[in-house]
Amino acid sequence: MLFFFYLTPTFSDEPFFVIVLCIFMCYYTKVRQFETILSINKTMEEFISMKNKTLYLTQAAVIAAIYVLLVFITNQISSYLNYGLVQFRLSEALCILPVFTPAAIPGLFIGCLLSNLMSPLSVWDWIFGSGATLLAAIFTYMLRKYKWTAPIPAVAVNAIVVGIMLYCLGIVNEVTGVVGYTAIFVGMGSVALGQIVVCMGLGYPLMKILDKGNVIKPLK
């Protein structure tokens, strides 16, 4: 019993307690440092997330505003350029923006929807015209790694969706006199022509300028 008591460390065993105390302090300090680092990392993640949300909303709003502005300017020349059979809607040059930021998807859709509120085609253009822009923007974003394809979705989707819409509304027949299923392809070809001029002729050079100048801040 006395032997056991002798082996049991007491407060008089200063070296033993100093070592234990040092180990405990080191452990406690490391744990606190680790907790502090985790707390800082979490705070930074929340801050970056908040900044990304703000940047996302800002980019979307600016893109929508520019889209509407360009449609308004084109309307001053002729509304037919925006809502006719062969459309040269200058705002469609912005269709390449989803390769730079996902914020362009809602930006283009909202801009197109607001612009189509002025359309003589009324609810048809609100639904199908704006829907085509949304679908094209999504495809463009999905193909963002292949930037040379950026104008293609806007040309293809609008040609199909808007072309068929114009056929169903009888506008193709009214303008061209073509009837039957041939009118569908005439409508699609007419829309495609205008989209190619704007998206390829203006959109593609715009993409090269933005890409070279690193103008649009990417979302992290």
pLDDT value of residue 20: 53
Given a contact cutoff of 8 angstroms between Cβ atoms, the answer to whether 104 and 114 are in contact is no
AA letter at 81: L
Q: Is residue 176 part of a domain?
A: yes
CA dihedral 197, 198, 201, 203 (to 10 degrees): -150
Q: Is residue 15 part of a domain?
A: no
pLDDT exceeds cutoff 90 at 66: yes
Q: Is residue 171 part of a domain?
A: yes
The phi, psi pair for 31, rounded to 5°, reads: -60, -45
Q: Is residue 218 part of a domain?
A: no
Tokens coding 79: 């509304």
Residue 175 to residue 14: CA distance in whole angstroms: 102
From residue 216, give the alpha-carbon distance in Å to each of 21, 30, 102, 211: 56, 42, 11, 8
Residue 153 to residue 206: CA distance in whole angstroms: 16
Range of the domain at 52: 41-213
* % of the chain surpassing 90 pLDDT: 54
Q: Is residue 18 part of a domain?
A: no
Residue 18 to residue 84: CA distance in whole angstroms: 88
pLDDT digits (tens, 9 = 90+) for 118-127: 888 889 999 9
Range in 36-45, 49-58, 59-68 with the lowest mean pLDDT: 36-45
Q: How many H-runs (helices) and E-runs (strands) does the chain carry?
A: 10, 0
Q: Is residue 62 part of a domain?
A: yes
What is the C-alpha end-to-end distance of the chain, expressed in Å? 68
pLDDT exceeds cutoff 60 at 14: no
Residue 97 to residue 108: CA distance in whole angstroms: 9
Number of domains into which the chain is organized: 1
Given a contact cutoff of 8 angstroms between Cβ atoms, the answer to whether 59 and 104 are in contact is yes
pLDDT exceeds cutoff 80 at 2: no
Average pLDDT rounded to a whole number, residues 49-68? 89
Given a contact cutoff of 8 angstroms between Cβ atoms, the answer to whether 82 and 71 are in contact is yes
Q: What is the CATH number of the domain that holds 177?
A: 1.10.1760
pLDDT digits (tens, 9 = 90+) for 146-156: 999 999 999 99
Whole-structure pTM value: 0.75
